[in-house]
Structure formats: structure tokens, C-alpha cells
Structure 1
């Protein structure tokens, strides 16, 4: 498939796909006329890249994970990738824990506010 179809299937703009290639996150085959060609694995890869970027990983960190998305990256690369994965997992876990705590606090405020408004709306108050 060409870049336009990959863009349509993944929701990533053509510009983003070119950026992913510039950063080494995505590698396309090139036709003799220089057109980019992609396959189904690229659809999956772009989905992962977009999910990681949305979660706050840098393109550099994602680049360290990319080799482990393929078979047999080698021990040195796998160790470096594991360190990045572990670091990012801890960062995401802390962020999720913070979001859960904020949601719980907000839930409590919502209940308090609803009770307050219900009291105001009772006849005779």
C-alpha cells in the first residue's frame, strides 16, 4: 500500500508517517520511482507508535523499543530496550496512579456537590 492508504488506515497524517521514517521508527520499501510502499505490519507498527506517542513516550524512547518489535533483536539491543520499557512502564504507572487518585477526589467532590444542590432544592430550605 502507498502512504495515502497507510494514512487512511491508521489515522496518521502523511506528514507524521514521513516523520516516523525520518526518526527511524518506520521503514518503507521504495519503488524505482521513489514511492513509499507499506504492508500490513506497518499498519500495526504505526498503531503502536501512535499509542506510545499519545502516552507521552518520546520518539527517541520509541526508537529504542522498535528493534524488539521484530524477531531476534540481539542481546545488547534487547537489554537496552528492556531498560527503556521498564523506565516507561514505571512512568506510565505513576501517571495512571495519579489520574486514578484525581478521579477519586473528583468523584467525592461530585457527590458532595450533588448533595449540596439537593439540599438547596428541597422545599423549605
Structure 2
């Protein structure tokens, strides 16, 4: 698929897709006319990248994490510095806190929705 279709399907601007490619996060193949051509799995890859970026991870760390999302794994540990490990631990802790907060908010919204749906205006005088 060409970059325009990938952009539409992932809701990621073309400019960002080109940036992801420059950073080595996604790969395209060049057609004879010079257009970028992306494989179908690139859609999921872009969604994963967006999720990791939204979680606050920088692209340099995302590039190292991406092999963990593939099967079979091909992780390269020589690049794992103590600083990177500390960053990943901090990001993981932050994600866990965010998940707990989102779960609490989801429960509150669900309870509120249940109350709204159960409300019987005829019962109130």
C-alpha cells in the first residue's frame, strides 16, 4: 500500500510516517516510480508505535522494543545501557499507574452509566 493509504488507515500523517521510516521504525519498499510501498503488517506496526509514543517512550527506545513485539523475537541486548534500563523501568511504572487510573475511571463511568440507565423519572416527585 502507498503512504496515503497507510496514513488513512492509521490516522497518522504522512509526515510522521516518513519520520518513522527515517528512524528505522517502519520499512517501505520503493516502487519503480519511486513511491513508497508498505506491507500490510505495517498498519499494526504503526498502531504499536503510536501507542508507545503516547505512553511517553522516545523513538530511540521504541526502536529497541519493537523486536519484542514480533514473533520470533530478535532482541539485541548489547544496546541496553543502565540508563536505558532505568528509563524502561520508570516508563513501566508510569504505565502501571496510568492503567490503574484508567481502570478506576472506567469503573466510575460504568457505574454512572448504570445509574443513568436505571433512573426512573416517574419515581421522582
The TM tier, using the shorter chain, reads 0.5 to 0.7
1:63-74 to 2 correspondences below 5 Å: 63-70=63-70, 71-74=72-75
Ranges in structure 2 where 5+ consecutive residues have no aligned partner: 109-125
In the TM superposition, residue 83 of structure 1 has moved relative to its aligned partner by: 8.1
Ranges in structure 1 where 5+ consecutive residues have no aligned partner: 108-125
Q: Do the aligned partners of residues 85 and 40 (structure 1) sit closer, same or farther apart at CA in structure 2, a change above 3 Å counting?
A: farther
CA RMSD of aligned residues (A): 3.0
* CA distance in 1: counterparts of 2:8 and 2:54, whole angstroms: 18
How many residues align? The count is 102
* CA distance in 1: counterparts of 2:13 and 2:91, whole angstroms: 25
| Higher-Rg member (1/2) | 1
* CA distance in 1: counterparts of 2:13 and 2:20, whole angstroms: 11
TM, length-normalised to structure 1 = 0.65
Query: Where has structure 1 moved over 6 Å in runs of 4 or more?
Result: 79-84
TM, length-normalised to structure 2 = 0.65
1:14 equivalent in alignment to 2:14:
yes
